[in-house]
């Protein structure tokens, strides 16, 4: 048996309903697509349906919004007969009226949040499970076939960068040849979600959290997100590899949290789950291995 101690998700008031409202509140267009998917009895809704119901004429824009909703598990996105279809998620559908009401009214959301936090005290949940069920694996940047050129780059002692988070994000996308530019908005679970990353010769769904030069000193969980819950939100992404990248040193507590959430997700999903950190030294190596990609 193995024991996992993790912060109770409810300690941040992030119930499914509250989390959905939090995500939808920051984008009227996102709410518009969400409402369109759940409007009426017709399932699924395709891109043409969503264009008519939302008034958004750009298919690219609608696809971007669908991606955010799907990553947060608010819609069920499927590729069928060469078109993108969106289905309702039953548990979300049951609460859609309440979710939208709180997404549109901050006072209602805060009232719900306060009620469900129970005083905002953090609890620790202890889970005991068989070690055979846990398939969480730690990787380094050298393990990825997508970043194979880094293996020839030596570590420079004390190396650090001074890049914008956006620039490093764009550099990674160029290296892995992912042309899908994600939007940066407050309800996101990750800074980059991609299926272009390779382990050996296999593509793996991956979620990145980037921390740029705006963050100072050693990276600790408390510096990750407004509520220190960025790692927790990262693991809500429908990925199998989870990466935290920072341009300086990363504390062991960040790695401990990633390990704990990876173990839980591996049991819950019944799949191998991988986690990785890219600290300042490895970030520097990556930039030197692919200078053209990271050229601002």
Same domain, 90 and 214: no
For residue 93, name the pLDDT band (cuts at 50, 70, 90): confident
- Domain encompassing residue 71: 16-114
Does 138 lie in the same domain as 285? yes
Q: Do 151 and 96 sit in the same domain of this protein?
A: no
**Who has greater pLDDT, 43 or 161?**
43
How far apart CA 246 and CA 224 sit, in angstroms, is 11
Q: Is residue 120 part of a domain?
A: no
Q: What is the rounded CA–CA span in Å between residue 139 and residue 284? A: 18
Q: Mark whether 102 and 50 lie in a shared domain.
A: yes
Nearest Cα to 76, choosing from 89, 66, 64?
A: 89
Q: Which strands sit side by side in the sheet containing 83-87, from one edge to the other?
A: 45-46, 83-87, 76-80
- Whole-number percent of the chain with pLDDT over 90: 32
Q: What is the mean pLDDT of residues 154-183?
A: 81
Give the chain's mean pLDDT: 83
Has residue 126 been placed in a domain?
A: no
Mean pLDDT of 119-135: 58
Is residue 272's pLDDT more than 50? yes
Residues recorded for the chain: 296
User: Distance between CA atoms of 149 and 214, rounded to whole angstroms?
Assistant: 28
Q: Quick check: 243 pLDDT over 60?
A: yes
Domain count, the chain: 2
Q: What is the mean pLDDT of residues 172-199?
A: 76
What DSSP string runs through 105-167? -HHHHHHHHHHHHTTT---EEEEEE-GGG--EEEE-GGG-GGGGGGGGSPPPTT------HHH
* Residues pairing with 86 in the sheet: 45, 77
pLDDT in tens, 53-71: 999 988 889 998 998 888 7
Q: Is 7 domain-assigned?
A: no
- Rounded to a whole number, what is the largest CA-CA distance in the chain? 60
Q: Which tens digit of pLDDT belongs to each residue from 135-166?
A: 899 999 999 999 999 999 998 876 667 888 88
**Higher pLDDT residue, 43 or 139?**
139
Q: Which residues pair with 2 in a beta bridge?
A: 129
Q: pLDDT tens for residues 190-214?
A: 788 999 999 988 999 999 999 988 8
The three-class DSSP label of residue 244 is strand
Closest alpha carbon to 85 in 58, 49, 53: 49
Residue 280 and residue 126: Cα distance in Å, rounded?
33
Contact 230, 263 (CB under 8 A): no
Instruction: Identify whether residues 54 and 93 lie together within a single domain.
Output: yes
């Amino acid at each position: 048996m193995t024991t996992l101690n993790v912060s109770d998700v409810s300690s941040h008031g992030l119930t499914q309903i509250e989390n959905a409202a939090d995500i939808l509140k920051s984008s009227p267009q996102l709410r518009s697509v969400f409402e369109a998917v759940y409007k009426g009895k017709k399932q699924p809704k395709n891109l043409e349906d969503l264009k008519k119901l939302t008034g958004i004429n750009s298919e690219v824009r609608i696809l971007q919004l669908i991606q955010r909703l799907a990553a947060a598990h608010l819609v069920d996105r499927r590729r069928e007969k060469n078109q993108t279809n969106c289905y309702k998620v039953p548990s979300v559908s049951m609460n859609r009226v309440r979710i939208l009401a709180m997404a549109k009214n901050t006072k209602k959301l805060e009232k719900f949040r306060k009620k469900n936090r129970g005083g905002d005290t953090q609890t620790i949940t202890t889970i005991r499970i068989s070690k055979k069920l846990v398939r969480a694996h730690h990787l380094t940047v050298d393990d990825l076939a997508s970043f194979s050129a880094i293996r020839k780059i030596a570590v420079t002692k004390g190396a650090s960068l001074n890049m914008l988070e956006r620039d490093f994000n764009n550099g990674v996308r160029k290296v892995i040849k992912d042309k899908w530019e994600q939007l940066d908005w407050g309800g996101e679970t990750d800074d980059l979600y991609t299926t272009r990353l390779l382990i050996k010769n296999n593509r793996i769904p991956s979620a990145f959290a980037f921390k740029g030069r705006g963050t100072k000193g050693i990276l600790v969980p408390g510096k990750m997100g407004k509520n220190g819950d960025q790692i927790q939100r990262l693991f809500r992404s429908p990925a199998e590899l989870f990466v935290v990248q920072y341009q300086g040193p990363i504390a062991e507590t960040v790695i401990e949290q990633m390990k704990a959430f990876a173990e839980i997700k591996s049991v819950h999903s019944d799949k191998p789950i991988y986690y990785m950190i890219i600290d300042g030294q490895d970030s520097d190596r990556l930039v030197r291995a692919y200078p053209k990609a990271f050229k601002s």
